[in-house]
Structure formats: C-alpha cells, structure tokens
Structure 1
Amino acid sequence: MRQRRRAERQNTARPTLKDNVHNRTEERYLQRILIGAALALGLLIIGLLATGWYFNFLKPPEKIVASVNGEDYLLHEVVPYTKIEGFYTSQFNPNIALNTLIKNNTLDQFSQDQGIDIQLNQVENKLITMFEKATGTSDVPSSLSQEGERELENFVNLIGIEVSDYKSWIRGQLLEDAYFDLFLTQASKTADQVFLEWIVAANSISGQNAYERISSGENFNSVATELNVDNIFADKEGVVGWVPKGALLEMDPYLFAIDNQTNSISPPIVTSLGSIVYRITNNSKDREISESMRILLAQNNFQSWMDQITSEIIFTFNDDDIKWVLGQIEREYE
C-alpha cells in the first residue's frame, strides 16, 4: 500500500517538476528580453543626449549663419562682436553684431577697389590713443608700451575676447571712417534745394492736431516750438533749412514733387521719424549744399552702395542661434 501511494506521489510530482523547469526557462528568456530592452533604451537615451550636446554645444559654433560675396560667417564669430558692441552700447544684440561683422568684412573685401588701405600701424595708433597714458602729443609713443599692453590685455579679458578680435573690430571702424570720407568727397557740392520747415509729432494724433491748428491760423513756428520732437535736423521752431534731393530720402517724394506749392501746409505723413507736418517756404536752383546736408548725402550714398553689394546676402541666423550666442555670454559672465 505504501509503495503504491509513493508511486502515485512520484507520478503526480513529475508533471509539476517539468512545468517548473519550463516556467523558469521562460522567466529567464523574458528577463533577457527585458535586460536587452533596457540596455537598448539606455543607449538610445545616451545617444539622444549626445546628439543634443553635439547640436547645442559643439555643432553651433561651426554653423553658417550668413553668406555673401563668397564669404561664409560662422555662429561662433558672432560672439566676440556681440561682447564688444555690448560693452560700448550696453545692449547685447547678436543681430546687430552679425551685421557689423558682415559690414566690416565686406568693406575690407572691396577696399582695394575703392583705393582704401588700412595699415596695421593705423590700428596700432588707435590702440595707443586708448591704452597709453600720454600727457601730451609729444608723449605719444609709436607703439604700445608694456603698460599699454597690460591695459589692453586687461580690457579684452574684462570683455572676454581675444586681442585679435578687438583689433579686427577696430580695423572695421577705421574702414568705415575711410569709406565715409571717400563718399563725403564724392558728394555733390551744389544742387537744387527747397527750404524746409517741419513738425515731427510724437504720434499721428499729435500730428493731426498740429495740422488743424496751423490750418486754423496759428503760427507754424509757434506750434512747432510746442509739438516738434525732432532735435536732430530742425531748430526749436521747426526750421530744417535748405535740403537737397537725397538728403532726407523718405521725404524726397513729397519735397520734390512737381506740384509742390510754396508755403502750403501738408497734411500729416507717417515716416520712420514720426508723423510729419511740413511746409516749403522757398526753392533754389544749383545752390551750395551745407556741410550737414552733404554729410547726410554721403551717409545715404554709402548705405545705398552697401545695400547694392550685399543684395544677395543669405541669412540663416535664427532665434535659436541668438539664444546660443547670448547663452555663451551669460555663462562666461556668471
């Protein structure tokens, strides 16, 4: 009897043992699958992090953000110019810095064609005037002294740039000055002109108010004294003076229209300066141009020339690039 019961227990236990072995095998197989999946997921996450690091910290400096006249401009080149211009203007604007970088290189590119040559000693002389402590013209050295070199080094370290970056920026300033002098000498000395008085109002409502008051009989200059916000071109009574065509580009279509009438008051016109009410009080043929108007002509001609030679510029500079540049500066200044 006992033997029979033992045999029954053994027969009953055998299927259970086989099932357990089979279950353990399946569990190990599932464990291997889970471990493999976890490893694959971990590698994927590491890959994504590495890719993100590459595109956020390694790749951006070599990204081309602008191209013009066969020159490519890289993202990392914008950083030192942003720091320099931020130091002088208290505004860290990567867009303006990139434009300055492109302008400086473009002026250098075309300088030989324009007969302009900025020598290394001119850059050196600029540095001398900035970093040497001379007490008079006779004390100005021909090159930076050791103390001057230290002052320059301290300055670039303060901003977080290289000396070569600062010299490049100064060279650009000297080039721009040389180009302006060139365009100033080329600007016309006589031209047909109109005598202009205007009121640059702060907004369209104020401009309409000025127009209605003058049209109702109030004195133009008295209203101008009260409402004119322009303190660049006009005096306190709104008198701009003799203006040639091309000096105030936005106003050319109005000032030099065929049907212009002397002493008539214009309704307000919207410009980048503001809402303008104006009148022309006189005309003159082939009149000598004032120095201030010749400067405006030179500036406008220079900008027109720049627009022409950079007309095929390609910009790929975007918001992410701006954030990257500003992020670099923030990290360095922390």
Structure 2
Amino acid sequence: MAFPWNRGDGQDQTAPADARRRARGRRARQEEARVESSRSTREQRHERLAWGIGAGLLVLVIGIVVFGFYQEFYRPPRVWAGSVRDQEFKMGDLVERIRVLQGLSGQVDLSTVPFEYLRNLLNAEVLRQAAPNLGFSLTDEDIDGVIRAQFYPAVPEGQQSDPGQLDEEFRNNYQIFLARTGLADTDFRVIVREQLALQQLGLMLGRSIPETTEQVEVEWIRSEIEGRIDVGAVRARLGSEKTGDGEEFAKVAGEVGVPGGFADQTGYVGWVPKGAFPELDGALFGDEERDLPPLEVGEISGPIFTQDGIYIVHLLTGPTDREFSNQMRNKLNIELVTKWQTDQQLRGANEGWLRMNFNSKWYAWVADQVRLSAPRVAPGQQGAPGQGPPGSQGAPGGQGFPGGQR
C-alpha cells in the first residue's frame, strides 16, 4: 500500500527515465534526419554531377559536329586559292569554274584539271589586268558578237529567210546549249571573254613572227608518257644513231607511233621552226648554253622525254630558210602566248603580286567536290552548233589553249 508520503518519490523516479527516453528519441530522429539529409545531399550532388557530365558530353558532341561542319563544309570554299594583286580567288571559285568546264566538255580529268584550271584562272586575271597596257580591251558587244556567230542558224545559199525567225532560232539554240551544259549565261560569257582576250594576245604576239625563218625537216615517233610501249626497244629497232642501219623509220612509226596532231601515220612531220616545240629545240637546233650540238642530217635521236610525250626524232633536212606553214605558225603563236604567261607568273611570284595556295589537301577537296556533280552531258552532246566554246579550234584561245597537240 502506498502511503501518501511516498507518492512524490515514485513520480520523481519515473520522470528522469521518461526524459531520457524522449532525449534518445529526439537524438535518434535527429540522427535519422541528418542521415536522410546527407543521403539527399549526396543524391543531389550525384544528380548535378550526372547532369553536368551529360551537358558536357552534349556540348562536346555539338562542338565536334560544328567543328566538323566548319572544317568540311564552311571553311574550305572560303580558303583563298590564289590571288593577282587585289583580286582573290577562293577554293569555291575554283570548284565552280571547273564545273563550268565540266559543263562544256561533259567530263574533266581530275588528275590534272584542278591545278591547271587554277593556273588558268590566274592567267586570265593577269591578262585582264594587263590588257589596257597591251593596247586592247573587250566590250559586251564583242561578247555578244561571238555568241551570236556561234549559235545563229546558218541559212543555205539562195534560200530566203525571215530575220525574226532566225533570231528566234538563235535564242532557242543558245538556251538549249545553256540548259544542256548546266551553265548560266554569265558563266559562259566569262569563258567567251577570256578566250577572246587570249586570241587578242595571240594576235598581238603573232605580229613578231617573221615571214620566213630557219626550219628543219623532221619525222618522229611519239609515244604516251604513261603508255606501254618500250621506247628503248623501239629505238633499238632503228639501229645506230648515225647510220640508222635498222628497220625503216616510217614502218616502225606506223606500228608503234601515237600521232598527236602534227605527224602523219608514218611519223612524217615536215618543216619545224625553232620555238614551235621548245622541248625538242635542243635536239633540232642545238643548245649552246648546255653545249649540246644539233642532230646531223640523217641522225636519229635517243628517246626525248617531254611533258607531252616521248619522242624519237629523225632529222631529214638541216636548217633552211623558208615560210611557215599555217599549222606551224599557229603552233609557234601558241608557244609565244605560253611563254608570255609563264614569264608573267614568274614575275608576279618574284614581285609578290601573284600567289597560289594549293597543296595535296586542297587538291583532294576540290576533286571530291567536282566528283559530286556528275558529267552533265556526254562529250559532243552540248546541243549547239559548234561544239565547245568559241575559238576551240585553230586560233589561239581555244579550249585547252595554250598548249596544243604534238
């Protein structure tokens, strides 16, 4: 039995125990909250880290894509390929000009065309800038006249024609040509202007060619540089250089020679002036600087390697003063234009006003871009009277000029 005087002591004994239990509960809850808070903080930290890594990877991927796009598509067309004084040409300009050539010819040789066409671009710009000092200029009327002469329909002799109908046919012919080649009128007019400028340069330089000059009569055997003909074996068939006691020259030439526009099927070329074939001048006329005597009459040269091919030359008649054939006058005229262009290139490079920026990397890029545009027409199918651009035959200024066949 609890006595009244003992109740306060029991309550006093239970109170500290309850307080301790409550304190332990508070501490447990606080510890649990702390642990939970720590866990939540770690999870938030991990989540932020994951988002950060993901965002970083996304930025990296986007950066790689943007950089790749910049390197492969945006930058290359804007890289300068060459310049003449203040006129600069980009890689994109070069690609577009090669596509113009592709439209005109139906196909291009990507093993040589990119560099050659860049050089032609610079040559054309050099000539454009030099034209006023050379004393000639071209007008829009000149360009119109050439285009009209090329595409205007021919009227049979004695036949009546309606001028209005002829004008309509001319416009149709020209538009068909532009459509089939994929060219714009402005593109074609640029080509015409450049060809006419070359023709005028050729005419100007041609005035320095005399009426007569010393020429030698020759025949030769020409083979392609990449051909399968063993020129050593061919030369052995002809016998010694002096006596030529081997097989008949014309017979061998007919069997293995590759005519290039100047020799007939037997290898006969005819009379050749000095300078018409600069790389053969040493054999035909001698070279005092290199102490190289010319071939003697009847002598057969060894293989002569040139940019155009490999030649074995037989001298038939020594130097004789005589008039030029039309073919040789034109060939010499072409070589004079080539020399003028080469001299201008060297002068420009030495004086710093002509520059080129072209290496294997940019060569490959240009070739790849041109391959993307397949030939627009088959060769010979441009659909216009007179295939190719004006001046493509004969006079200097034609497609592929300067140079010419051998």
Q: TM-score range by the shorter chain?
A: 0.7 to 0.9
Letter in structure 2 aligned against 1:190 = T
* Matching of residue 115 in structure 1 with residue 115 in structure 2: no
Q: Give the equivalent residue in structure 2 for 1:226.
A: 255
Q: Matches of 1:281 and 1:147 in 2, distance apart? A: 53
Which is further off, 245-254 or 260-269?
Answer: 260-269
Structure 1 residues 107, 207: CA separation in 2 closer, same or farther (over 3 Å shift)? same
Instruction: Check whether the contact 1:199–1:224 (CA below 8 A) recurs between aligned residues.
Output: yes
> Per-residue deviation at 1:148?
5.1
Deviations 1:240-291 (A, max 9, x none): 1222211111111111123532212223333334433222122134332322
Structure 1 residues 89, 327: CA separation in 2 closer, same or farther (over 3 Å shift)? closer
Q: Give the equivalent residue in structure 1 for 2:185.
A: 163
> Per-residue deviation at 1:306?
0.3
> Matched residues, percent identical?
25
Q: Give the equivalent residue in structure 1 for 2:198.
A: 176
Instruction: Check whether the contact 1:83–1:159 (CA below 8 A) recurs between aligned residues.
Output: no
Structure 1 residues 178, 45: CA separation in 2 closer, same or farther (over 3 Å shift)? same
User: TM-score under structure 2 normalisation?
Assistant: 0.70
> Per-residue deviation at 1:114?
1.9
Which fold has the larger relative contact order, with Cα–Cα distance below 8 Å and residues 6 or more apart in sequence?
2
Q: How does 1:1-334 map to 2 (within 5 A)?
A: 8=24, 11-92=27-108, 93=110, 95=114, 96-133=116-153, 135=155, 152=174, 155-156=177-178, 159-201=181-223, 206-215=230-239, 216-257=245-286, 258=293, 260-311=295-346, 312=349, 313-317=354-358, 318-319=362-363, 321-323=365-367, 325-326=369-370, 329=373
Q: Matches of 2:294 and 2:328 in 1, distance apart? A: 24
* Residue ranges of structure 2 left out of the alignment (5+ in a row): 1-13, 240-244, 287-292, 378-406
Count matched residues: 331
Structure whose CA Rg is larger: 2
Query: How large is the Cα RMSD of the aligned pairs?
Result: 3.4
Tell me, what secondary structure is at the counterpart of 2:93? Answer: helix
Instruction: Check whether the contact 1:233–1:240 (CA below 8 A) recurs between aligned residues.
Output: yes
Tell me, what secondary structure is at the counterpart of 2:234? Answer: helix
User: TM-score under structure 1 normalisation?
Assistant: 0.83
Tell me, what secondary structure is at the counterpart of 1:310? Answer: helix
Tell me, what secondary structure is at the counterpart of 1:282? Answer: strand
Q: Which has the higher helix share?
A: 1
Letter in structure 2 aligned against 1:288 = E
Deviations 1:202-238 (A, max 9, x none): 5585433333232144222222222222242212222
Q: Matches of 1:29 and 1:6 in 2, distance apart? A: 34
Deviations 1:93-148 (A, max 9, x none): 56144333323222221122222222211211222234444636996979x95775
Instruction: Check whether the contact 1:221–1:238 (CA below 8 A) recurs between aligned residues.
Output: yes
Letter in structure 1 aligned against 2:122 = I
* Residue ranges of structure 1 left out of the alignment (5+ in a row): none
